[in-house]
Structure 1
Amino acid sequence: MAKQQMSSETRGIGQLLNERRYFEVPAHQRDYAWPIGAVEQYLDDVTNAMDDPNSDYFLGLLVLVGTEDTHSSRYEILDGQQRLATTTMIYSAIRQWLRDNGLDSEAAKIQNDFIGISEIGEEQDEPRIILNVNNRDVFQELIVNPCTDKNIEIKLASEGRYTSTRKLLEAALLCRKYIADLAEKQGDEKKQKSAVLFQLAKYIRDRVQVNCLDVSAPENAYTIFESLNDRGIDLSVLDLLKNHLLREAGNKEAVILSNWTKMTSTIGDRKGDDFLKAFWTSRFGRIQRGRLFKELKNKYSSRAEVAQLSNELAQVADYYGNLEVSDSDLWRQYSETTRVNIEALTLLGAKQTHPILLSAIEKLSATDVEKLTNYLVTVILRYQLIGKGRTGKLEIQSSAIASNIWSGKLKSAHAVWDKLKAILPTDDEFLEDFSRYTETKPARARWILRELEIQKWKNCNPGKSLQSEPVKNPNIVNLEHILPKNPSQDWAGVISSDKEFISDCLNRFGNLCLLDKPNNKKEASGSYSKKSTTYKSSEFILTREVSEKYPHWDRGAVESRQKALASLAVERWPT
């Protein structure tokens, strides 16, 4: 009789951990990637659902490659490692709280039932879950094995900012804090505190439900994934592509797995589908997400093409992962101006231009990349941020430009600029847009004001190089609301005569200025006459002008100053 290729059942995720005993994440799978927000949401959802004893919480589909001997072999996790690993961390946090509070026998039950199995003759418990090569050692040491919070904190302090190990450790600490807080809310009695944790452990075991799809071999899962995707089930393009690469790999499997691990590690917690879309767009033009896998599959179908694609993805992932990291190795080979522009693009929000940058890095000279980033800053600021232009229109234009850079039709930054200008608002339109502009994000407001200050300084000092330290060093620049967020009684007169003054004008750009000295809360909320005295001694020309040009601060002053700033903006970011 033919072996069944797949079977499905629904059960509690804790039951699955307990009954199946051993699981393993394939070497080529992504690292642990859940941010602490996702972990906290999972905990909140489960504890809220637990309040209703008759309520189940459904956690979704898990896909495992089956094994005939559950006592000696591990199930391969094709889909579900984030949920299984995070659930294990919750059980680990419960176990640690019980140990810390003298309930060792109950902690041992949690350990053996859900986390690690104590095998005869072994010093360490055999973990129920083994993660991939990047995460498995720290998972064994600090989640499977008992340890103090301090041990995790020490390890966390040594980790890089964007590593998957950092995410793992942050998730583990969050689980421990959440469990401790949950216990403390139950009162002063240890019995009450432990009871809620026993309840949670059982609820996760029995009522946090997963649908477990068992397949006899990975290739069967690949077929199932693609079939589900064809039927409108929204599956990750990254997972579908991985299935395609491995199915067609042949004797290139080791190389493809190595490249895949490198790629997923490099893009980190960024969305894999976003990366794949940017990769395709940078070379072949705009594509809808729903068509992305099919086009990739058709474009790279043979064994040689699949191997080529895995090499290209690994390389481009290195670029993509650093597009918004101005001090990375990628950008150190470019000029300081380029790095400053990359920092600005990140601050302004320029994801639609990522395909252009991916193509330019490989096809244009460093000098042209510098010019190009200058142009992109202007486009994002004039069209998207200030002009509120349609994102779709910018994406269409960026996609066409990126593919034309890749094909060699656009060979210089100047040629790219000729295409970008087609969507830019005119100077009159930009002037009008800026005159109405409001900004609620301090970092973005500081950057724009510094750029306008530079333009003002150049206008006042033609032919000279910029020397003013507050303008050059953003770390000593403070953002000031001239009409303060929390105005003192000194503002009562102007506010009573213009009831909508605060709501309409607080975040208008004309109401913002820069200070080169820190301001205490009392000064920041004080009268305009006192603030104006401070502005007079500022090193910023535009801030000094506030006190020089406006004896009173009201709606008319805000609008007048904003129009003046708008004129500077046209000069600073010309077409």
Structure 2
Amino acid sequence: KQIIIQQLPLVMITTSEDENPYAIFETLNERGLQLEESDLIRNHVFMQLSLTEQDRFNDEHWMPFEQKFEETDDYSGVDLTEFYRDYMMRTGEYVQKNEIYHQFKRRTSEMTPRELVDELSYYGDLYLWIQRPETAPNEELTNALRRLQYLEIGTAHQLVLNLLYRWDSDDLSIDELLETLHGLESFVLRRFICGRSTRGYYRTFPIAARSIEDDDVKGSLFAYLKSQGWPDDTELLDNILRFDMYNRDKKKTWLVLRTLEEQFGHREPVQYDELTIEHVMPQTIDDNEWGDEWKAMLGDEWERIHDQWLHALGNLTLSGYNPELSNRPFDEKRELLMESHVELNGYFEECDNWTEKTIRERNQELAERLASIWRVPQVDD
């Protein structure tokens, strides 16, 4: 503590009434002070105001805008710098992370501070729908945006922002918007299962936004995404046979299983927050009575079967009895699964055993259902 007090220099700069502190701040920053891009943008905006305007503008306009992104009791804070970047890329122009401030200055040079904060506040509201889906204006959109969160595609936020603006401006109907967001789901999920690289997404999605044609938003966007490699059913079904879905990404696995369950059309709402992902063939086969039963059921190649199929879609389901199920033998697991009221588990009623053959069969059935839910849309070449 004493070393910090003795060696940490403190500089106080006093300005006269006719000096703009924001201009002095920018001059100092040009000499090497490392700050967030959002701090530099704020400073730039205030430099456009006279000294007598700054306090009022801050209280009435700027602070209410920035406070939208702050942490609340219900939500974590949202990064302002990332918002500025996605805001600028929404029309398809790529912005490097170290160029956010300079690009912002260039692209907003014709706007007054008031015009700018009004536009930022408007797009900020749309952006927060993406980050906080529960704040979206209707339930269908909330569900669609929440699903995108499970896919963890932050690189597509500028594209989604573009689409939300088009809907809010009445250029897209709600049905068209939902179809477009679902298509984005399909593109990302199919590529995930087929092992396609995500490395280029940081360029793919801004270009996708630029590719949109005003008179055919959905068709033009889907045509572009298809040109970037949208796996067809043959590739999807082939890859899912040997895909360790749970091991690769638990959030995407949850999205798939929940969506498969929702397709049954429950009369009463399902409490999904009470369900967890369950491995039918357990994650651990021990050297005990339960383990011996599993080894006998799986056969001489039980180790290979366990390694190959453990995390496959066909071996996964949803249950509220995860602790009780544990590593129990299949007969006991089946009884508990049938009590869970999860429609996915109705499959096990007719299963007398759980072997490589039955896991493969269920894997194929679920894969075909997955392909029918997340389709590749037909688009004009």
CA shift for structure 1 position 217? 4.2
SS at match of 1:479: strand
The residue identity in structure 1 corresponding to 2:314 is G
Q: Distance in 2 between matches of 1:378 and 1:358?
A: 18
SS at match of 2:130: coil
Q: Distance in 2 between matches of 1:478 and 1:296?
A: 44
Structure 1's 469 and 524: CA in aligned 2 closer, same or farther, altered over 3 A?
farther
Matched, 1:480 2:278: yes
Q: Distance in 2 between matches of 1:311 and 1:64?
A: 35
CA shift for structure 1 position 390? 3.1
The residue identity in structure 1 corresponding to 2:27 is T
What residue is the counterpart of 1:338 in the other structure? 141
- Greater RCO, CA 8 A, separation 6+: 2
Q: Distance in 1 between matches of 2:364 and 2:210?
A: 39
Deviation track 1:113-162 (CA, whole Å, cap 9, x = no partner) reads xxxxxxxxxxxxxxxxxxxxxxxxxxxxxxxxxxxxxxxxxxxxxxxxxx
Q: Is the 8 A contact 1:379 1:420 kept in 2?
A: yes
CA shift for structure 1 position 526? 1.0
SS at match of 1:480: strand
Q: 1:66 aligns with which of 13, 27, 43?
A: 13
Q: Tell me which structure has the larger Cα radius of gyration.
A: 1
Q: Is the 8 A contact 1:359 1:403 kept in 2?
A: no
Matched, 1:393 2:196: no
Long gaps (5+) in structure 2: 71-76, 377-381
What residue is the counterpart of 1:203 in the other structure? none
Q: Distance in 1 between matches of 2:211 and 2:35?
A: 30
The residue identity in structure 1 corresponding to 2:331 is S
Q: Distance in 1 between matches of 2:307 and 2:67?
A: 46
Residues 301-312 of structure 1: pairs in structure 2 closer than 5 A = 301=109, 304-312=111-119
What residue is the counterpart of 1:430 in the other structure? 236
What residue is the counterpart of 1:421 in the other structure? 226
Matched, 1:292 2:113: no
What residue is the counterpart of 2:178 in the other structure? 370
Structure 1's 523 and 467: CA in aligned 2 closer, same or farther, altered over 3 A?
closer
CA shift for structure 1 position 443? 5.5
What residue is the counterpart of 1:236 in the other structure? 36
Q: What is the TM-score of this pair, normalised by structure 1?
A: 0.53
Structure 1's 520 and 439: CA in aligned 2 closer, same or farther, altered over 3 A?
closer
CA shift for structure 1 position 444? 4.3
What residue is the counterpart of 1:570 in the other structure? 371
The residue identity in structure 1 corresponding to 2:67 is S
* Superposition CA RMSD, Å: 3.4
CA shift for structure 1 position 267? 1.8
Residue identity (%): 18
Structure 1's 487 and 519: CA in aligned 2 closer, same or farther, altered over 3 A?
farther
Structure 1's 282 and 62: CA in aligned 2 closer, same or farther, altered over 3 A?
farther
What residue is the counterpart of 2:253 in the other structure? 445
The residue identity in structure 1 corresponding to 2:57 is V
The residue identity in structure 2 corresponding to 1:351 is G
Q: 1:548 aligns with which of 350, 354, 369?
A: 350
Q: 2:321 aligns with which of 519, 540, 546?
A: 519
The residue identity in structure 2 corresponding to 1:354 is H
What residue is the counterpart of 2:67 in the other structure? 265
Deviation track 1:307-360 (CA, whole Å, cap 9, x = no partner) reads 4323222222222223132221xx22x3x3322111111122132221122222
Deviation track 1:261-280 (CA, whole Å, cap 9, x = no partner) reads 22321122322221111000
Aligned residues: 350
The residue identity in structure 1 corresponding to 2:159 is I
Residues 126-275 of structure 1: pairs in structure 2 closer than 5 A = 217-228=21-32, 235-250=35-50, 253=54, 254-255=56-57, 258-268=60-70, 269-275=77-83
Structure 1's 337 and 360: CA in aligned 2 closer, same or farther, altered over 3 A?
same
The residue identity in structure 2 corresponding to 1:290 is N
Q: Distance in 1 between matches of 2:307 and 2:59?
A: 56
